[in-house]
Chain A
Amino acid sequence: MSDLDHPDGVICPGGPLLLRGDHVVTDAQGRPHRTTRPVSAVCRCGKSSRQPWCDGTHKVLPPQARP
């Protein structure tokens, strides 16, 4: 029974994908990275220095370069 939204994945417009729970995410080189926190932010702009995780870099990109 659920009437309040609580999705496992949330796409943030212009920002990362939020991922709830314990997962393994592979980066662009195919290396696996296990999540370490209750909710993780997966980079979608491709510019994060801490792939595959978001480091906030999307905020300094011009709007058209944001995901």
Chain B
Amino acid sequence: MTPRGVGYLPRMLTPKARGSLSERLLEAIRARPRDLAAVVGDEPESVDDEQIALWALYELHHHGFEDVDDALEWHPDLLALRRRLEDGFERRLRSRWPSPGPGFRTETFAEDFFAFVEGHDGASLAAHVQRTADVEQVLDLFRLRSVYHLKESDSTAWAVPRLRARTKAALVELLYDEYGAGDPDRVHAHLFARGLEACGLSSEYGAYVDDVPVEVLEQNNAMTLFGLHRRLRGAALGHLAAFEVTSSLPSRRMSQGIARLGLAQEMADYYDEHVEADAVHEQLAVRTICAGLLAEEPHLAGDVWFGAWSCLDLEDRLARRLLSEWAA
């Protein structure tokens, strides 16, 4: 390993394989010399296998791995494999989506969007944490959430240069707050890192990826898929809006559950910040960001609803799995 200088924080190592494709892929990207062409045609043996392979390929675009050469981020063989896995994943997400959504009318879009989210009657992890979860369950949830919360908003930020003036300014107005409005201590991902440490958990980026169920990988990969592809900017912003609209009230429940169990105040602080921040962000995401996008690019309405629905559905899938495991 090349010395990287004083102050360098080591990054995560490649995750554990979850099947034959991810096994061969992870071995190939760690090896020197490498035979990447050999894995391009591999088929995943399961959704777990597909998702951890895709997650690892996507992480080359986020922070990379300590045991993988950064130059592989744009290696054509890996891009070919990524494209094939993404195609299958996007098809699956779209096949789960039951309808084309309510369309777009400028005058009613915000009300339509809030009603659409309200009408999605999903399972709630926050309600469980608020009232009945035990300490181990809540710590488990923090571990699962850390895969995303430690890169909070990063995938959405990729959409910025693909937008026109009105929507670009609106998105950056929201992201500026997510990223602490210039104060590194208020960066949301950093607040979550502090919360993890105060709970005795690791705040290292990617520390718990080997422990997470496939639903968490799908959530993270969907956000990266939507963010990386300019074509899917409508889905990225629809996802953002649904995420924000379902954050403020659940964050209050999370904070109350943390207090009920006597867990660290730093973690309560993270959720308390989201009660207020996301009460603002949900309005911005719907009224200025998505409505702005559709005023400029009305043909993206279907993708906005697709992204929003995917956000709700993926969270619902995770919630149902965890609640049923915890009830067993």
Contact = CB atoms under 8 A, between A and B. Distances in A.
Interface of A: 4, 6, 10, 12-16, 18, 37-41, 49-50, 53-57, 59-60
Contact of A38 (B110, B166, B181): B181
Interface in B162-187: 165-166, 169, 173, 176-177, 181
Nearest to A20: B173
A21 to B, nearest CB: 11
B166 A41 contact: no
Contact of A39 (B114, B248, B275, B284): B284
B314 interface: no
Range, interface on chain B: 20 to 34
B199 interface: no
Contact of B280 (A4, A13, A54, A59): A54
Nearest to A54: B279
A6 B287 CA distance: 12
Interface string B264-296: 000000000001111110111001000000000
Interface string B105-118: 00000110010001
Given A13-B111, A59-B118, A53 B284 contact: no
B283 A37 contact: no
B279 A60 contact: no
A56 B177 contact: no
B277 A18 contact: no
A41 B176 contact: no
Contacts of B114: 59
B190 interface: no
B177 A37 contact: yes
B173 A56 contact: no
A14 B114 CA distance: 11
Contacts, number: 63
A57 B275 CA distance: 10
A39 B173 contact: yes
B248 A18 contact: no
Contact of B283 (A12, A50, A53): A12
B284 A56 contact: no
B252 interface: yes
Given A18-B283, A18-B284, A56-B282, A37 B181 contact: yes
A3 B275 CA distance: 33
A60 to B, nearest CB: 7
A31 B284 CA distance: 27
B278 A56 contact: yes
B249 interface: yes
A41 B177 contact: no
Given A10-B283, A10-B287, A38-B177, 14 more contacts: A15-B283, A16-B279, A18-B280, A37-B181, A39-B173, A50-B275, A50-B276, A53-B276, A53-B279, A55-B248, A55-B275, A55-B276, A56-B279, A59-B114
B167 to A, nearest CB: 10
The 7 A-B pairs at the shortest CB distance, nearest first, are namely A56-B248, A54-B279, A41-B280, A56-B279, A56-B249, A41-B279, A37-B177
A57 B253 CA distance: 12
